[in-house]
Amino acid sequence: MHINRKFLIKHLLVPIVSGGVWGFILALVFNSATILSWKSISRQMLYSILLTFLFWKGNEAIIRYFNKKYSWIKDSRKLITRHLIFTSLYSLSVIFLFYLYIWFLVMHRKTFAGFFPNFNVGFYICISITAIAMLISYTYYFFKYWKKAVLSEEQLKRESLSLQYESLKNQVNPHFLFNSLNVLTSLIEKDKDASIKYVKQLSDVFRYVLDQNGRELVPITTELKFIESYRFLQQIRFGTNFKIQININDKDFQIVPLALQILIENAVKHNEISLENPLTIKIYDDEGFLYVSNNLQLRSNIPDSNHIGLKTLDFQYEFLSGKKMEVIHNHSHFVVKFPKLKP
């Protein structure tokens, strides 16, 4: 079995050595009358090692728990407050329980008479040592997780730009332009007013994609307004064979920009759309989640895809909400479920 040397040093050797050193120092200072008693010194060192393990690992677990729950960048004040409150309460509880053990089980006392005066000095010493250890540990974790949060924020920005680029690329690729120009040409010949509206909606689509540069979130109402322009373009192209059904009751939440368009574009790209096989995309909400669903009728010549849109969306939602986007794929439907993000 392979043993991680670095892990053993960090989680076993360091607490033992540091606890033993503190115990030895305390034994010399407060037990000078029995300085030559190895039994007294070893017992003091053993207690110190045990307390060091409890303080170290317990406070480390508390810090890690709140680091996962809150962001160093967005919730720094809330995070620091919870760290201080819960680590202090935990440390005081450990010290108090330790002295109860000494008082009743080692010293064989029957009542609390004299308990607090007897441990008064030792209590303050333990608190001081704990405060120093917590300060060192807290400083380490502060810089560690702060650096991690900054790097994650930068990665989010890169992923957001990647998503916007992917969406823009979908709109300006030769196939999209070719299809759009073909539709526009046929409209100009048949209906001048409709062709003017088509050009306006097409320009709205491009404008929205370009305007989202650098934004993490947009209101769902803004995204749905953009989807109306995008739906108009696709319905001119596919007619009644293409439908988008929107049923959202709660509109007080936000969404990653272009998320809906990316999912709709994927559905159009991968599925057959014809009179015999119409494509229906449903956008709806339920219990804190937003769903985008489409019926599956996969094309025989599906173009190659690296799924960068879905991967980027998944990363953004996990970063912003702490919850992963869920993809439900069966023989009849393709469903993407992601959490609503409150302002």
Q: Using H for helix, E for strand and C for coil, what is the string for 133-178?
A: HHHHHHHHHHHHHHHHHHHHHHHHHHHHHHHHHHHHHHHHCHHHHH
The predicted-structure confidence for 167-192, as pLDDT tens digits, reads as follows 544 544 555 666 777 777 777 877 87
How far apart CA 260 and CA 258 sit, in angstroms, is 6
Highest averaged pLDDT of the listed ranges 89-93, 177-181, 205-209: 89-93
Does residue 213 or residue 190 have the better pLDDT?
Answer: 190
Give the C-alpha separation, 112 to 95, whole Å: 16
Task: Please check whether residues 267 and 335 belong to one and the same domain.
Answer: yes
> Range with the lowest mean pLDDT among 29-38, 176-185, 246-255, 288-297?
29-38
- Could you tell me the residue range of the domain that residue 82 belongs to? 5-153
pLDDT higher than threshold 80 for residue 329:
yes
**Residues 332, 186 share a domain:** yes
User: Quick one: average pLDDT of 190-206?
Assistant: 83
Q: Are residues 94 and 207 in the same domain?
A: no
SS3 275: coil
Task: List beta partners, residue 289.
Answer: 286, 339
**Dihedral Cα 126, 23, 17, 134, nearest 10 deg:** 10
Closest CA to 276 of 238, 332, 331: 238
Mean pLDDT of the residues in the chain:
77
CATH number at residue 190: 3.30.565
On the question of pLDDT at 10 being above 70, the answer is no
* Same-domain check for residues 246 and 117: no
Lowest mean pLDDT among 134-138, 221-225, 240-244, 289-293: 134-138
- Within a domain: 166: no
Contact in structure between 308 and 260 (CB atoms under 8 Å): no
Q: What is the pLDDT of residue 9?
A: 57
Neighbours of 259 (CB within 10 A): 25
Contact criterion met (CB below 8 Å) for 238 and 180? no
228 and 297 share a domain?
Answer: yes
Residues 197 and 264 in one domain: yes
Q: Work out how many domains the chain is built from and give that number.
A: 2
Q: How confident is the model at residue 73 (pLDDT cuts 50, 70, 90)?
A: low
Tokens, residue 142: 């502060």
Instruction: Tell me the two tokens of residue 306.
Output: 């690296």
**Residue range 15-55, pLDDT digits in tens:** 666 655 655 555 555 555 544 566 666 776 777 777 777 77
Q: Are 310 and 266 in contact (CB under 8 A)?
A: yes
Q: How far apart are CA 168 and CA 209, in angstroms?
A: 6
Residue 39 backbone phi and psi in degrees, to 5: -60, -45
For residue 165, give both structure tokens: 């680029």
